[in-house]
């Protein structure tokens, strides 16, 4: 069975990163049903299948439309950067406008499609939509005959990979007449749902002949086309380089990430407290992509950073992160302060502040001393990063809330920046801290993709990926639209 799968000839889907999920592409000469409610992206998906097939694979394509005119299609696609008219002039693309087709003309319509596939030597075909086409038949049996005979001739005998668009009515999961799925080689369902009141787009691979699909669901966006997001994967740093800081503005500290700055409308306001609420199944690396980049942006500009690490994160892991961004041990000693709990055999280091973890007042005095030293030595405001779970473990919830209120006020007074990291398990505390914070971000996961969004200010869902192209880990955020 495995050998048969390996021998199946594939054609690239033309949809960014979908092939990673479906084993390299669609089986050549297959019939793929693409289903979904109106507005889920079926036309854009199909257009990229045709366009990239022509441009990247040299495979001629035909778009048969029972839903919209040639002018409407060409105009909409040109706005996405897909110039089908140019491809049409070059003889690589053909658009068949069947909007006015009626039942009596259906045999002629199907013959027209067959002739056009043969005439231009098409290897890709889209029929938009079978739902509209099927309405022209009084008897559903006639539609079944079309599927079994004509489409099998186009796909199997002529080797033309075909996408059949099916409109799923709102509020229903059934597809069209309920017969397409039995003759299809593949079925992909596109959906629009909500996550915390925000638009979430996802797709599900319901069937794909000869293809093992361990991941059957994935998040996608229509930002700049149609892009699918496989489960989050760390990227190896092949040629390490020193981090290049992002410039701050008069009103904002840069987060260190251009895409996160854009999501927040400029970055973190100076003198603000930021709550980053971390969801279940989010790894340390994933939330560090958001938090560590800001710390490195401060340090790379000669500013101080003071950290109370979250549980499970020790000084050695923080130093490893700093090293990944190319900062030197001299910069660490001058600009970084990591608060740790004293233990037997503890060895003092310039970048460590030792807490006993028994008295809030005693430990806060040490914290304040470290903060003042950084401000005086750099002459600049500093960044505070606080793991809430560590404070709770040492001092309890009540003392932690009081300390964070004091700390948020202190950040505003010094025009610095404070980041509070809240891990799962404290839902009531999340509401209290959100009221204190000026910025509230959430990091969660769906179908393996990591999602980041703003509660304050409210933003769209953004998919978080790791970009290693600059020689150090960078967060890349893409909005779901």
pTM of the model: 0.92
Tokens linked to 189 = 């369902």
Burial tier of 233 (Cβ tally within 10 Å: 0-12, 13-18, 19+): exposed
- From the list 272, 281, 331, 338, the residue with the least C-alpha distance to 303 is 331
Q: Domain 252-479, CATH 3.40.50.300 — does that match? A: yes
State the pLDDT at residue 393.
Answer: 92
Same fold, 2-229 and 252-479: yes
Neighbours of 316 (CB within 10 A): 9
State the pLDDT at residue 456.
Answer: 97
- From the list 226, 198, 165, 212, the residue with the least C-alpha distance to 33 is 165
166-174, long-range: CB < 8 A, 24+ apart: 166/33, 166/34, 166/35, 166/129, 166/130, 166/131, 167/35, 167/36, 167/37, 167/38, 167/42, 167/129, 167/131, 167/132, 168/35, 168/36, 168/37, 169/37, 170/37, 170/38
Tokens linked to 315 = 């000084």
Residue extents of the structural domains in the chain? 2-229, 252-479
User: pLDDT tens string for the chain (481 positions)?
Assistant: 333 444 678 999 999 999 999 999 999 999 999 999 999 999 999 999 999 999 999 999 999 998 899 999 999 999 999 999 999 999 999 999 998 876 667 778 888 999 999 999 999 999 998 878 777 777 767 777 777 777 777 888 888 999 999 988 765 555 554 555 667 899 999 999 999 999 999 999 999 988 887 789 999 999 999 999 999 999 999 999 999 999 999 999 999 999 999 999 999 999 999 999 999 999 999 999 999 999 999 999 999 999 999 999 999 999 999 999 999 999 999 999 999 998 888 889 999 999 988 888 899 999 999 999 999 999 999 999 999 999 999 999 999 999 999 999 999 999 999 999 999 999 899 999 999 999 999 999 999 999 999 999 999 999 999 999 999 999 999 999 9
Longest dimension (CA), the chain: 90
Q: Which CATH class is domain 2-229?
A: alpha beta
**What is d(CA 458, CA 342) in angstroms, rounded to the nearest whole number?**
40
Triad 381, 385, 388: Cα angle to 5°: 145
**What is d(CA 395, CA 388) in angstroms, rounded to the nearest whole number?**
10
């Amino acid at each position: 069975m495995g050998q048969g799968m390996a021998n199946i000839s594939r054609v690239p889907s033309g949809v960014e990163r979908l092939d990673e999920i479906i084993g390299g592409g669609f089986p050549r000469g297959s019939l793929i049903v693409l289903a979904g409610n109106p507005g889920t992206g079926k036309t854009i998906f199909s257009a990229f299948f045709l366009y990239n097939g022509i441009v990247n694979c040299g495979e001629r394509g035909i778009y048969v439309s029972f839903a919209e005119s040639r002018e409407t299609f060409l105009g909409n696609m040109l706005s996405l950067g897909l110039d089908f008219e140019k491809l049409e002039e070059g003889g690589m693309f053909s658009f068949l406008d069947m909007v006015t087709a009626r039942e009596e003309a259906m045999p002629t319509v199907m013959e027209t499609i067959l002739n056009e596939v043969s005439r231009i030597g098409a290897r890709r075909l889209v029929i938009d939509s079978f739902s509209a086409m099927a309405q022209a038949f009084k008897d559903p049996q006639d539609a079944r005959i079309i599927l079994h005979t004509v489409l099998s001739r186009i796909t199997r005998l002529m080797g033309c990979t075909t996408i059949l668009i099916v409109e799923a009515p709102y509020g229903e999961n059934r597809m069209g007449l309920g017969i397409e799925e039995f003759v299809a080689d593949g079925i992909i369902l596109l959906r629009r749902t909500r996550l915390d009141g925000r638009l979430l787009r996802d797709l599900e691979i319901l069937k794909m002949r000869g293809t093992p699909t361990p991941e059957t669901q994935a998040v996608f966006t229509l930002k700049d086309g149609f892009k699918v997001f496989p489960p989050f994967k760390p990227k190896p740093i092949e040629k390490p380089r020193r981090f290049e800081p992002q410039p701050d503005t008069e009103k904002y500290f840069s987060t260190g990430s251009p895409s996160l700055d854009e999501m927040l409308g400029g970055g973190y306001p100076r003198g603000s407290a930021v709550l980053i609420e971390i969801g279940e199944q989010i790894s340390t690396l994933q939330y560090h992509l958001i938090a560590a980049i800001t710390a490195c942006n401060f340090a790379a500009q000669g500013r101080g950073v003071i950290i109370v690490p979250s549980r499970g994160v020790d000084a050695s892991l923080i130093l490893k992160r700093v090293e990944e961004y190319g900062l030197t041990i001299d910069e660490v000693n001058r600009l970084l302060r990591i608060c740790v709990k004293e233990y037997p055999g503890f060895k003092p280091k310039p970048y460590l502040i030792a807490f006993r973890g028994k008295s809030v007042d005693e430990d806060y005095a040490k914290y304040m001393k470290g903060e003042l030293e950084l401000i005086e030595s750099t002459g600049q405001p500093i960044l505070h990063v606080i793991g809430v779970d560590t404070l709770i473990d040492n001092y309890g919830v009540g003392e932690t809330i009081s300390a964070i209120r004091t700390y948020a006020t202190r950040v505003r007074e010094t025009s610095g920046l404070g980041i509070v990291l809240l891990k799962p398990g404290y839902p009531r505390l999340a509401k209290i801290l959100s009221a204190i914070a000026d910025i509230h971000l959430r990091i969660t996961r769906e179908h393996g993709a990591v999602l980041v969004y703003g509660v304050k200010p409210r933003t769209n869902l953004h998919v978080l990926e790791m970009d290693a192209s600059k020689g150090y880990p960078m967060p890349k955020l893409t909005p779901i639209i």
